[in-house]
Amino acid sequence: MDFINFIGFLAAAGTTVAFIPQVIRSVKTKSTKDISLVMYSLFCIGISLWIIYGIFLNSQPIILANSITLLLAITVLITKFRYG
């Protein structure tokens, strides 16, 4: 893996892993009132479009990173629906 791809890999890992502490916080505190429902709805739509884009480009990294991000973002969205 060359240096540029390594930066891209780190970038994808960072913006994906970032959602794990939010999932943990929302599940643990059962409190999500400060989280924007519109943000996570738009974000899930955007991430789904990234996955479709990755499928068109046949890019495994785009598909993989965004699939994990989508799962995490959907989890936050579910806690938002559940705890308000």
Q: Which residues contribute to the site for a second copy (CB under 8 A)?
A: 4, 7-8, 10-22, 24-26, 29, 31-36, 38-40, 42-43, 45-47, 49-50, 52-53, 56-57
CB of 59 to a second copy, least distance (A): 11
Strands (E), the chain: none
CB of 57 to a second copy, least distance (A): 7
CB 34, CB 26: distance < 8 Å: no
CB 12 to a second copy: min, Å:
8
Give the tokens for residue 64: 């993989």
| Residues 59 and 50: beta-carbon distance below 8 Å | no
